[in-house]
């Protein structure tokens, strides 16, 4: 049986560097905790793979993090969450495991019957989890799912304000500019790093939502419920790991964590 103590780190996992957008929220509300951040950049992108492939990769990464003694796991990847969070909870019922899902609810409730664009990877868009979420709010909003293949790659390269990204977004979002939508949901953890560019293309009147903060709060709640939060005042430590052997992804993770 897995032994859990307060002093063990919280693991955060993503297919690459995108989960840093969730780690920064975790760090804000639990600054005294230690974290291990693992990015599977070697196998990224997950969003264009099959559900079975993503499930296998996610289970392998999660198992590695539990072997290192994580006291909880944040699956900071919408794609991996829809493919594998249920099975992970069955495999490790005694460890708090929190996934992330597109922030459809706050976007739908931001005004009376808004037009909401949900941006996510092709796999997240096609998965049952998102279809169920959309069905739940269908009578309260017009919800438009938009697969964004290739968008995560800009972030994975650290290309956050170049002309190429701007052109890609102008093409992708062409039909939704000029007041065609009221809100946009960033349903992939890489996308918050392109938030300003997305806002620029869609226009200032569009409200943008992501699930990072809600996911961080849910992890804190789950740890508190099990008496696993650290109580002492201290500055937590973050260890970055990546399935690619070179250090460039780790350097990018550090850089992204500075961007708020
Ligand atoms: N960051 C991931 C997500 O939240 C997926 C990116 C990818 O690997 O395609 O969905």
99 ligand 1 Cβ < 6 A: no
Reported pTM:
0.96
The per-type count for the chain, helices as H runs and strands as E runs, is 11, 9
Cβ–Cβ under 8 Å, residues 16 and 39: yes
Distance from the CA of 100 to the center of ligand 1, in angstroms? 11
Active site residue 110: no
pLDDT given for residue 1 in this prediction: 60
pLDDT given for residue 80 in this prediction: 98
How far, in Å, CA of 226 to CA of 96, rounded? 8
Cβ–Cβ under 8 Å, residues 71 and 5: yes
Average pLDDT for runs of 10 along the chain of length 260 = 88 98 98 98 96 98 97 98 97 97 96 98 95 96 97 96 95 95 98 97 97 98 97 96 92 87
pLDDT given for residue 260 in this prediction: 46
188 ligand 1 Cβ < 6 A: yes
Q: Ligand 1 pocket test: pick from 125, 189, 191, 192 the residue with the most ligand atoms within 8 Å of its Cβ.
A: 189
Q: Is residue 222 classed as helix, strand or coil in its secondary structure?
A: helix
Rg of the Cα trace of the chain? 18
Per residue in 188-218, is it b (16+ CB within 10 Å) or e — as a string?
bbbbbbbbebbeebbeeebbbbbbbbbbbeb
Question: Which class for 179: exposed (0-12), middle (13-18), buried (19 or more C-beta within 10 A)?
Answer: exposed
């Amino acid at each position: 049986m897995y032994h859990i103590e307060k002093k063990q780190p919280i693991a955060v996992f993503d297919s690459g560097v995108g989960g840093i957008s969730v780690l920064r929220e975790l760090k804000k509300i639990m600054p005294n905790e230690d974290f291990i951040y693992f990015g599977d950049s070697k196998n990224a992108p997950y969003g264009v793979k099959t559900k079975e492939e993503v499930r296998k990769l996610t289970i392998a990464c999660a198992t590695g993090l539990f072997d290192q003694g994580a006291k909880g796991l944040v699956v900071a990847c919408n794609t991996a969450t829809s493919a594998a969070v249920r099975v992970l909870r069955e495999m490790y019922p005694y460890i708090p495991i929190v996934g992330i899902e597109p922030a459809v609810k706050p976007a739908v409730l931001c005004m009376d019957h808004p037009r909401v664009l949900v941006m996510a990877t092709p796999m997240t868009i096609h998965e049952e989890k998102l279809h169920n979420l959309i069905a739940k709010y269908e009578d309260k909003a017009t919800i438009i799912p938009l697969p964004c293949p290739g968008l995560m790659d800009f972030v994975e390269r650290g290309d956050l304000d170049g002309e190429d990204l701007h052109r890609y977004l102008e093409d992708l979002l062409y039909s939704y500019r000029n007041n065609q939508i009221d809100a946009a949901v960033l349903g992939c953890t890489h996308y918050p790093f392109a938030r300003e560019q997305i806002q620029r293309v869609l226009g200032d009147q569009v409200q943008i939502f992501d699930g990072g903060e809600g996911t961080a709060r849910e992890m804190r709640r789950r740890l508190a419920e099990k008496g696993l939060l650290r109580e002492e005042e201290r500055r937590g430590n973050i260890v970055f790991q990546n399935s690619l052997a070179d250090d460039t992804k780790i350097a990018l993770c550090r850089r992204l964590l500075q961007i708020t």
